[in-house]
Chains A and B, each alone.
Chain A
Amino acid sequence: MDTNSWLNVLHFITAQTASTTGNSSSLISGEDYKIIFACISAAITMGLVGVAAALSEGYAAAKACEGIARNPESSGPVTRTMIIGQAVTESVAIYALVIAIIILFLMV
Chain B
Amino acid sequence: MEEIGKRWVLYYIPGTDIPIPLGGLHVYTVITSFFVLFLLLIISYWFSHRFQFIPTKTQSLLEIIILWFKSLIEPIIENSNIDILYEILPFVSSLFLFIFFGILLSLIPLPYLEEPTSDLNCTIALALTSLFYSWITALRFRGFHGIIKEFQGPLYSEGIEGQDKTLIQKLSVLFFFPFKIIEEISKIISLSCRLFGNTLGSGIVSIVISTLTFYMFVPILIDVLLTGFEAFIQAFVFASLSTVYISSYFAEH
Q: Are A84 and B197 in contact (CB under 8 A)?
A: no
Q: How far is the CA of A94 from the CA of B123 in the complex (A)?
A: 14
Chain A residues 37-71 with CB under 8 Å of chain B are none
Residues of B within 8 A of A94 (CB): 193-194, 197-198, 201
Q: Are B190 and A91 in contact (CB under 8 A)?
A: yes
A87-B237 contact given A80-B75, A94-B201, A101-B5, CB 8 Å threshold: yes
Interface size class of B (residues with CB under 8 A): 10 to 19
Report the nearest A residue to B120, measured CB to CB. A98
Q: How far is the CA of A79 from the CA of B62 in the complex (A)?
A: 25
A97-B201 contact given A77-B75, A90-B194, A91-B190, CB 8 Å threshold: yes
Q: How far is the CA of A97 from the CA of B197 in the complex (A)?
A: 7
Q: How far is the CA of A93 from the CA of B28 in the complex (A)?
A: 27
Is B233 engaged at the interface, CB distance under 8 Å to the other chain?
yes
A83-B236 contact given A77-B75, A91-B190, A101-B5, CB 8 Å threshold: yes
Q: How far is the CA of A90 from the CA of B234 in the complex (A)?
A: 12
Report the nearest A residue to B4, measured CB to CB. A105
Is A106 engaged at the interface, CB distance under 8 Å to the other chain?
yes
Bits for B179-198, please: 1 = Cβ < 8 Å to A, else 0.
Answer: 00000000000100110111
Residues on A close to B: CB < 8 A?
A: 77, 80, 83-84, 87-88, 90-91, 94-95, 97-98, 101, 105-106
